[in-house]
């Protein structure tokens, strides 16, 4: 929701970035305030995923110009794990598998590390077990998932739910969810969206990077931005998303946008 | 002018070289140079023994104890004699009898050149320039011998963008006793071309002979080649084969090798993934009994990134036979995003049967998927029980499952009549007591 | 034992120092005279001298093996001193041990004092080819267990040594075993009599001190019917520029229903980043499952050595006997390892399990070479092998050579192998969850090696993870 006098959580100005030597982001501006839900949409290759990964600190992406302030501080001055501790969360489009490392083990370590970084208490295995099971109920996840290796042998839906479970545990201030809806059937989509919604409050914000409109039926955005050629070329409210659904991207893409780049 | 080569280091090789100096002069300088170089290599090499790592499980004594003669002029075989081996789907056939080309009626699929080297005109020979460039022989005595004797070859040349409408059948028939023959094949599929080639070795009266074959296959960008190699040599014959394949960008090579005959057979498939996006899919089946030895030593070399390879090798070993498999996969530095899988499955049917399997991986790039597995064992007890619960007796159930084990490889043959023929062979070979 | 490993792990080679103590070193070079000299110095009986000479004569006729996937400058066997010991003294009690030596042990954290007694660990310390003191000998003697140095065993239990030495690894078995059989100076001897379960983990401790003094340890462990023992081996060595040779032989014999567990955490000096100065570790380790239902289990964590050539093996003669091999081999910088195992199935209904995890980082080369051999009479044999490689960085190599030789139709052999990596993507995933690179690597490695670590005695398991983490510092990302 859009709140009066809400704190600015994320301020992106004139962002230019490249990957493998090719410039993908070409001057991106975005302001996200507390309590807001933003959706970033756009055709393939527009740079949506690049934006999310860049903010989280993926080593393959290079900042060329521009600034990003996260809660008033320079985000790029922080290492990726410091950004996580500071309250930034990235829900991956393709979460990696980590065979041999049990989910319970990984989640507990992430939780304790991030909480310690915020000056909060760590939990012992039993306490953590209670916490994680509670959060798992939210996402209708089977408790036996805790013993499995991280993302190994998971279906697409299970991987995405695992991402949201992590979001639920780490309680970020700004969550960037990269195509969280891709590969999900209706039921999984509903559960994931429910999970995200239940985590939203007036002090945090979420940025949904998505190609399709349907996620936005469940997680209602305050702002919808359309990216094309590495920049945001149009911003509107949720009705913009509906218009894109019926008309596609072409009507925006023509006007004043750069040549499409394949990321 | 051919210079007289120094006598071979190894007396056995010297005897095998009999007749080489009597070969007709090579039609091109390139071929002349190739032969000379190969001859030099044969003279420097020796016959491998059990002390050589690549031959440590395969005893060549039965081979080296025999004396072979160069083939005499071959009899002309008529169509009826060959009928049994002619799959209906392959209208194009090249027949070589004891190494001699026997021209037949029937042309090539449109756009494709299918001819013997001896009948090729200069233009065709120019398009076959790859001959001798893919199969190395610096350290390998069998391809070196073959190349030293190179005077005839089956050529299948498919130009850019041409998809051969029917498969091409290359039939090598042995009718004589105790002769050494060196069959040679070259398949060139240019960019975007597609063809299916059957390389078929059969005996019609031949006994105790040796076929030492070399097959070279080059795939240009986006080309597709399906290659079926079928070995049905006489039970007391010897069969050595090198299949060297170069797979270009986004091209796909599918090789299926079936080994039924020969006292001792050895096949070295060597596939190089030479272009990004190239793929190879190899399958092999050795179905042997009595005291046969079947040895496959394969190498799949991922020289560039984004390559894919799959390999399935199966052996069914009965009587006192011996199967050997060495599956080497190399992933060179920088060959990132290689995706390679290899399975070696072996079934021993008797107390005297023996298998030596050696999966071998040499990996120098980290962002790769290389999984391999090998099993030696029996038929699955659950499957056996299932069949018996449906009324089959023990022997019938075993035979059926053993047949199914081998049939998986035969299934890959996309020519129904040939597949049928081979399935019968597998059935016959798995109908034991 | 935890204290010992702490010292090994927490500092980068604090053990890189030389003990300044009078050492009696025999002149370099190897000949029949050297061997007679060693035998005389040790007051050995004739049969043992004959054993040595026989091995030496075999060795002269043999050639250094060429086939391993490793490369190293030729070793000059004449440029090594084959015997080096502190000045001979009678060492019956701890008080008589040279104080300088004791200080060395202190530095290394060897528990030769009251703390060790409470921990209940017996230690047989080997210092430069002569066993200095053996603790808890008496305690073990109460239950009839003999745990002492080979030299002592030759004097006090010659019939046992004569019966079993060379029965598992014959003198002509391979080049390094022949050399060892000729010039071995000392090692551990352990004998567990019928029905006795050894009440404590046994361990021994190696050290190579003098420059150019190769070390030729010989260990013999015999477990009679129904006996069990768990033996730990942990190693360290000082820093030197010339490569040091370590060619040990370990023989294990398990009779009916006996169980021997042999664990190693090896931390030999690997050479610097450019591969200069590390240890060459050429070891022959073999276990004979002589008796029915016997079991021999090898567990190892190999992280050191410039060159490692080692194939702990099991010969499964007894019906229903079991052989196991669990290994983590890590190579970094310019290390080379060619290691694996041999499981030889001879008896009926034998079983073997192989779990090998190879980690290659830096510019190293890590090869697994395994043999599973099922003899013609090995009815009902079963083998399961899992060989996984983890590659870190783009300059290392991971290789697998798996030999499977089967001559029995009722045997079942299953072999699986896979590769994985630790790279940017994995580390970024952890980082995005607040977990730094070092911890991420540690967690991933631990997950990768889990199946092996859980075979280690507890105190080793905890330290093994730390040791691996230490060895991989700076190699990822």
Distance separating alpha carbons of residues C114 and A57, to the nearest angstrom: 53
Selecting from C439, C444, C477 the residue whose C-beta is nearest the C-beta of A98 gives C444
- Residue C190 has which token pair? 């352990």
- The two most distant CA atoms of chain C are separated, in Å, by 69
Question: Is A212 part of a structural domain of the chain?
Answer: yes
Question: Is B5 part of a structural domain of the chain?
Answer: no
Q: What is the pLDDT of residues C397-422, one digit of tens each?
A: 999 999 999 999 999 999 999 988 88
Question: Is A108 part of a structural domain of the chain?
Answer: no
Are the beta carbons of B315 and B346 closer than 8 angstroms?
yes
Q: Which of B68, B69, B96 is nearest to B82 (CA)?
A: B96
pLDDT tens per residue across all 433 residues of chain B = 444 555 666 788 888 888 888 788 887 888 999 999 999 999 999 999 998 989 999 999 999 999 999 998 888 888 888 888 888 888 789 999 999 999 876 667 788 999 999 999 999 999 999 999 999 999 999 999 999 999 999 999 999 999 999 999 999 999 999 999 999 999 999 999 999 999 999 999 999 999 999 999 999 999 999 999 999 999 999 999 999 999 999 999 999 999 999 999 999 999 999 999 999 999 999 999 999 999 999 999 999 999 999 999 999 999 999 999 999 999 999 999 999 999 999 999 989 999 999 999 999 998 898 999 999 987 777 777 777 776 777 788 888 888 888 988 998 998 998 998 898 888 888 886 5
CB contact under 8 A, C433 and A114: yes
Beta strands in B152-249 (DSSP E): 154-158, 168-174, 179-181, 184-189, 194-203, 210-219, 224-232, 238-247
Question: Is A135 part of a structural domain of the chain?
Answer: no
ipTM of the complex: 0.86
- The two most distant CA atoms of chain A are separated, in Å, by 57
Question: Is A184 part of a structural domain of the chain?
Answer: yes
Beta strands in B252-338 (DSSP E): 252-259, 264-273, 279-288, 293-302, 308-317, 322-331
* A112 inside 8 A of chain C by CB: no
Question: Is B6 part of a structural domain of the chain?
Answer: no
- Beta-carbon contacts of residue A119 (< 8 Å; ≥ 6 apart): none
Provide the 3-class DSSP secondary structure of residue B93. Answer: strand
Provide the 3-class DSSP secondary structure of residue B83. Answer: helix
* C438 inside 8 A of chain A by CB: no
Host domain of residue B36 = 11-430
Count up the domains in chain A and report the number.
Answer: 1
- Beta-carbon contacts of residue C419 (< 8 Å; ≥ 6 apart): B361, B363, B368, B369, B370, B371, C388, C389, C390, C391, C398
Distance separating alpha carbons of residues C338 and B362, to the nearest angstrom: 13
What chains are in contact with C, requiring at least 3 Cβ pairs below 8 Å?
A, B
- Beta-carbon contacts of residue B136 (< 8 Å; ≥ 6 apart): B143, B244
Distance separating alpha carbons of residues A89 and A83, to the nearest angstrom: 8
User: CA A54: distance to chain centroid?
Assistant: 11
CB contact under 8 A, B354 and C407: yes
Q: Do chains A and B touch (3 or more CB pairs under 8 A)?
A: no
Question: Is B110 part of a structural domain of the chain?
Answer: yes
Q: What is the pLDDT of residues B349-395, one digit of tens each?
A: 989 999 999 999 999 998 898 999 999 987 777 777 777 776 777 78
Question: Is A42 part of a structural domain of the chain?
Answer: yes
Are the beta carbons of C154 and C52 closer than 8 angstroms?
no
Question: Is B51 part of a structural domain of the chain?
Answer: yes
Are the beta carbons of C305 and C334 closer than 8 angstroms?
no
Distance separating alpha carbons of residues B31 and B122, to the nearest angstrom: 13
Tell me which H or E stretch contains A14. Answer: strand A8-19
Question: Is A128 part of a structural domain of the chain?
Answer: no
Host domain of residue A217 = 8-98+156-253
Preferred mutation among C389, C402, C425, C444 to probe B, highest tally of B CBs within 10 A:
C402
Q: What is the pLDDT of residues A89-104, one digit of tens each?
A: 999 888 877 776 788 8
Provide the 3-class DSSP secondary structure of residue B272. Answer: strand
- Beta-carbon contacts of residue C100 (< 8 Å; ≥ 6 apart): C19, C20, C21
- Neighbour tally for A34: CB within 10 Å: 20
CB contact under 8 A, B333 and C395: yes
Question: Is A114 part of a structural domain of the chain?
Answer: no
Are the beta carbons of C385 and C354 closer than 8 angstroms?
yes
Distance separating alpha carbons of residues B47 and B61, to the nearest angstrom: 10
Are the beta carbons of B317 and B349 closer than 8 angstroms?
yes
Count up the domains in chain B and report the number.
Answer: 1
pLDDT for B292: 97
CB contact under 8 A, B375 and C398: no
CA C50, C56, C61, C64 dihedral sign is positive
For the domain that residue A199 is a member of, what is the CATH number?
3.40.50.300
Distance separating alpha carbons of residues A161 and A218, to the nearest angstrom: 15
Question: Is A34 part of a structural domain of the chain?
Answer: yes
Are the beta carbons of A178 and A90 closer than 8 angstroms?
yes
CB contact under 8 A, B354 and C411: no
pLDDT tens per residue across all 263 residues of chain A = 888 889 999 999 999 999 988 999 999 999 999 999 999 999 888 899 999 999 988 888 899 999 999 999 999 999 888 888 899 999 988 887 777 678 888 888 888 888 888 888 889 889 999 999 999 988 889 888 898 888 878 888 888 989 999 999 999 999 999 998 887 888 889 999 999 999 999 999 999 999 888 899 999 999 999 999 999 999 999 999 888 888 888 887 665 444 443 33
Chain C, nearest residue to B57 by Cα:
C405
Are the beta carbons of C105 and C111 closer than 8 angstroms?
no
Distance separating alpha carbons of residues A61 and A148, to the nearest angstrom: 31
pLDDT range class, residue C203, cuts 50, 70, 90: low
Are the beta carbons of A250 and A34 closer than 8 angstroms?
no
């Amino acid at each position: 929701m859009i709140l009066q006098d809400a704190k600015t959580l994320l301020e992106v100005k004139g962002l230019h970035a490249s990957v493998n030597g090719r410039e993908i982001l070409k001057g991106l501006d975005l302001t996200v305030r507390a309590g807001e839900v933003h959706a970033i949409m756009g055709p393939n290759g527009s740079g949506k995923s690049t934006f999310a990964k860049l903010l989280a600190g993926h080593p393959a992406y290079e900042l060329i110009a521009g600034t990003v302030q996260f809660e008033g501080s320079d985000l790029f001055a922080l290492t990726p794990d410091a950004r996580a501790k500071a309250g930034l969360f990235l829900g991956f489009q393709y979460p990696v598998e980590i065979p041999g490392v049990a989910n319970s083990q990984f989640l507990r370590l992430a939780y304790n590390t991030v909480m310690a970084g915020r000056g909060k208490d760590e939990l012992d295995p039993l306490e953590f077990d209670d916490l994680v099971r509670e959060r798992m109920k939210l996402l209708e996840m089977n408790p036996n998932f805790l013993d499995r290796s991280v993302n190994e042998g998971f279906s697409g839906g299970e991987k995405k739910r695992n991402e949201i479970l992590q979001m639920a545990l780490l309680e970020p201030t700004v969550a960037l969810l990269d195509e969280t809806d891709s590969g999900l059937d209706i039921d999984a989509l509903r559960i994931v969206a429910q999970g995200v919604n239940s985590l939203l409050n007036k002090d945090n914000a979420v940025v949904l990077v998505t190609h399709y409109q349907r996620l936005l039926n469940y997680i209602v955005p305050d702002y919808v931005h359309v990216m094309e050629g590495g920049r945001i070329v149009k911003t509107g409210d949720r009705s913009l998303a509906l218009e894109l659904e019926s008309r596609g991207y072409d009507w925006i893409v023509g006007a004043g946008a750069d040549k499409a780049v394949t990321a | 002018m051919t210079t007289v080569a120094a006598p071979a280091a190894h007396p056995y090789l010297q005897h095998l070289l009999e007749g080489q100096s009597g070969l007709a002069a090579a039609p091109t300088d390139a071929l002349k140079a190739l032969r000379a170089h190969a001859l030099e290599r044969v003279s420097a090499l020796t016959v491998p023994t059990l002390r050589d790592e690549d031959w440590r499980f395969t005893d060549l004594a039965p081979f080296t104890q025999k004396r072979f003669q160069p083939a005499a002029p071959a009899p002309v075989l008529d169509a009826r004699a060959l009928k049994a081996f002619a799959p209906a789907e392959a209208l194009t056939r090249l027949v070589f009898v004891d190494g001699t080309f026997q021209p037949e009626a029937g042309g090539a699929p449109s756009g494709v050149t299918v001819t013997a080297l001896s009948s090729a005109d200069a233009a065709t020979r120019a398009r076959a320039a790859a001959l001798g460039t893919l199969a190395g022989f610096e350290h390998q005595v069998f391809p070196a011998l073959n190349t030293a004797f190179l005077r005839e070859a089956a050529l299948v040349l498919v130009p850019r963008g041409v998809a051969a409408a029917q498969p091409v059948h290359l039939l090598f028939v042995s009718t004589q006793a105790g002769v050494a023959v060196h069959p040679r094949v070259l398949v060139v599929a240019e960019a975007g071309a597609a063809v299916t080639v059957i390389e078929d070795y059969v005996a019609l009266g031949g006994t105790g002979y040796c076929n030492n074959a070399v097959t070279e296959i080059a795939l240009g960008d986006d080309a597709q080649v399906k290659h079926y190699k079928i070995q049905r040599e006489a039970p007391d014959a010897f069969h050595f084969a090198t299949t060297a394949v170069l797979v270009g960008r986004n091209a796909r090579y599918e090789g299926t090798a079936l080994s039924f005959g020969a006292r001792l057979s050895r096949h070295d498939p060597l596939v190089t993934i030479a272009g990004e996006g190239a793929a190879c899919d190899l399958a092999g089946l050795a179905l042997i009994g009595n005291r046969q030895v079947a040895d496959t030593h394969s190498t799949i070399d991922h020289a560039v990134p984004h390559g894919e390879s799959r390999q399935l090798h199966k052996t069914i070993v009965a009587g006192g036979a011996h199967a050997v498999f060495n599956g080497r996969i190399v992933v060179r530095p920088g060959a990132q995003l290689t995706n390679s899988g290899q399975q070696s499955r072996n079934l021993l049917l008797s107390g005297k049967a023996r298998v030596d399997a050696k999966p071998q991986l040499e990996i120098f790039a980290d962002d790769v998927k290389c999984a391999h597995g090998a099993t030696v064992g029996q038929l699955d007890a659950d499957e056996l029980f299932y069949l018996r619960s449906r009324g089959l007796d023990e022997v019938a159930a075993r035979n059926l499952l053993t047949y199914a084990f081998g049939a998986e490889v035969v299934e890959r043959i996309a020519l129904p009549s040939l597949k049928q023929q081979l399935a019968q062979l597998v059935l016959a070979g798995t109908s034991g007591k | 034992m935890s204290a010992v490993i702490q010292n090994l792990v927490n500092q980068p080679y604090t053990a890189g120092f030389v003990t300044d103590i009078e050492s009696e070193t025999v002149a370099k070079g190897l000949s029949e005279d050297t061997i007679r000299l060693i035998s005389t110095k040790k007051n050995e009986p004739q049969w043992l001298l004959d054993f040595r000479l026989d091995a030496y004569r075999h060795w002269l006729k043999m050639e250094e093996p060429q086939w391993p996937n490793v490369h190293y400058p030729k070793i000059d066997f004449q440029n090594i001193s084959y015997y080096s010991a502190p000045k001979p003294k009678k060492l019956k009690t701890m008080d008589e041990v040279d104080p300088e030596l004791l200080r060395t042990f202190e530095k290394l954290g060897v528990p030769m004092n009251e703390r060790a007694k409470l921990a209940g660990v017996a230690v047989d310390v080997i210092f430069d080819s002569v066993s200095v003191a053996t603790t808890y000998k008496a305690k073990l003697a109460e239950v009839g267990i003999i745990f002492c140095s080979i030299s002592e065993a030759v004097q006090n239990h010659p019939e046992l040594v004569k019966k079993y030495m060379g029965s598992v690894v014959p003198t002509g078995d391979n080049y390094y075993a022949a050399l060892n059989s000729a010039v071995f100076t000392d090692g551990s001897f352990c004998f567990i009599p019928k029905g006795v379960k050894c009440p404590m983990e046994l361990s021994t401790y190696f050290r190579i001190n003098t420059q150019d003094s190769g070390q030729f340890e010989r260990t013999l462990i015999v477990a009679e019917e129904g006996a069990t023992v768990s033996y730990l081996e942990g190693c360290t060595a000082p820093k030197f520029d010339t490569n040091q040779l370590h060619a040990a032989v370990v023989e294990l014999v398990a009779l009916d229903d006996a169980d021997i567990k042999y664990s190693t955490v090896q931390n030999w000096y690997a050479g610097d980043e450019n591969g200069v100065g590390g240890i060459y570790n050429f070891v022959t380790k073999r276990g004979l499952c002589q008796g029915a239902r016997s079991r021999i289990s090898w567990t190892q964590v190999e992280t050191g050595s410039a060159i490692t050539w080692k194939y702990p093996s099991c010969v499964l003669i007894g019906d229903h006997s079991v052989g196991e091999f669990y290994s983590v081999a890590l190579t970094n910088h310019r290390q080379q390892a060619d290691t694996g195992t041999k499981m030889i199935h001879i008896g009926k209904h034998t079983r073997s399990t192989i779990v090998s995890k190879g980690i290659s980082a830096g510019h190293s080369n890590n090869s697994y070479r395994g043999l599973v051999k099922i003899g013609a009479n090995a009815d009902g044999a079963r083998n399961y092998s899992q060989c996984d490689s983890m590659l870190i960085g783009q300059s290392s190599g991971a290789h697998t050579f798996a030999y499977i030789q089967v001559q029995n139709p009722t045997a079942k052999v299953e072999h699986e192998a896979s590769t994985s990596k630790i790279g940017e993507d994995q580390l970024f995933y952890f980082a995005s969850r607040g977990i730094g690179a070092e911890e991420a690597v540690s967690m991933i490695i631990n997950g990768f090696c889990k199946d092996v670590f859980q075979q280690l005695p507890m105190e080793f398991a905890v330290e093994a993870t730390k040791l691996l983490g230490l060895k991989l510092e700076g190699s990822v990302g």
